[in-house]
Amino acid sequence: MSDSQTRTRSREQEETEEQSAGLECPECGGSVIADDEHGETVCQDCGLVVEEDSVDRGPEWRAFDSKEKDEKSRVGAPTTNMMHDKGLSTNIDWRDKDAYGNSLSSTQRKKMQRLRKWNERFRTRDSKERNLKQALGEIDRMASALGLPENVRETASVIYRRALDEDLLPGRSIEGVSTASVYAAARQAGVPRSLDEITDVSRVEKSEIARTYRYVVRELGLEVQPADPESYVPRFASSLDLSEESERRARQLLQNAKEKGVHSGKSPVGLAAAAVYAAALLTNEKTTQAAVSEVADISEVTIRNRYHELLEAEQDLPVA
């Protein structure tokens, strides 16, 4: 509990700092101090309360239309699937202070200790809850490492939760299912990461991820379309510092290829990489096959083969 002591000390320091940086009291001209714990601003000399209850009473979120307003303007934290209890369970603060910042009596302190302990026990009551807690941690870790946006984490959490509810876990590792959830969520959100990229940040092997992923998708009836090559383009283009123009061109190439049906059976990542390379060529921007191969994690040979095909397909159809 040395933690709470250092915490208290730093709080006192803050207060003395605020004292010196004070405003002037409108009544006696003395300096004014802010007392955050009581939510008041008080004159140091005459004791006049310049401001009280300095609490933000506004709605928690901005609402941009009436529907959103209905959803958001009421009091309460938003629920999130990213926490194992959706953020709804009670948390008991570890500081032995009441709502006004006053210290608790020793009997009250003991009571709070007991409550804390039991609250914790209820929160992670059974194995499922503990399981979920760990898995969500993993999901968050991997999503961060992959630079995936928040909504993907949410989706991944939902998928995992469903897998857990359907008793898909027995026989499979928490790690594996978490990873598969992230993989699936990223694809569903249209910001796919290749299996290799996923494998890099996961603690399980590629084969297991693939196996678990297939299993989860099948059992949960998830509809995941094959990754669209175009969704890789922005990421590759920006890692290579290419212009908007080339990015647009790359998309064009891919769309044309799609119409011609050149792409079936080929890896989407390879196609995307080839399109990016070809586009850079067409717009006279300097890139090398090696560089593209690097960021896309695809062999140069594959890039060569694909981009020949892309350009051939383009030639038959004169530029629009």
- Smallest gap from Cβ 158 to DNA, in A, equals 25
CA–CA gap between residue 14 and residue 48 (Å, rounded): 21
298 binds DNA (CB under 7 A): yes
> Taking CB under 7 A as the rule, does residue 302 contact DNA?
yes
Q: Tell me if 95 contacts DNA by CB under 7 A.
A: no
Q: How far is CA 126 from CA 123, 132, 156, 166, in A?
A: 9, 10, 22, 16
Number of alpha carbons in the 13 Å side-chain half-sphere of residue 67: 0
- Closer Cβ to DNA, 95 or 260, answer by number: 260
Q: Which is nearer to DNA, 41 or 268 (CB)?
A: 268
Answer yes or no whether residue 226 interacts with DNA by CB under 7 A. no
Angle at 131 (CA atoms; ends 130, 134), nearest 5 degrees:
85
Report the candidate in 56, 19, 45 with the shortest Cα–Cα distance to residue 34: 19
Q: Is 207 in the site for DNA (CB under 7 A)?
A: yes
Q: Which of 9, 299, 312, 317 binds DNA (CB under 7 A)?
A: 299
- Residue type at position 135: A
Q: Which of these segments, 21-29, 30-38, 240-248, 293-301, binds DNA (CB under 7 A)? A: 293-301
Q: Does 119 participate in binding DNA (rule CB under 7 A)?
A: no
d(CA 60, CA 77) in angstroms, rounded, equals 8
Residue 151 as a binder of DNA (CB under 7 A): the answer is no
**List 9, 301, 312, 317, residue binding DNA (CB under 7 A):** 301
Q: Decide: is 258 part of the binding site for DNA (CB under 7 A).
A: no
Residues 259-288 that bind DNA (CB under 7 A): 265-267, 270, 287-288
- How many angstroms separate the CA atoms of 320 and 312, rounded? 15
Report the interface residues with DNA, using CB under 7 A.
206-207, 210, 265-267, 270, 287-290, 297-302, 304-306, 308
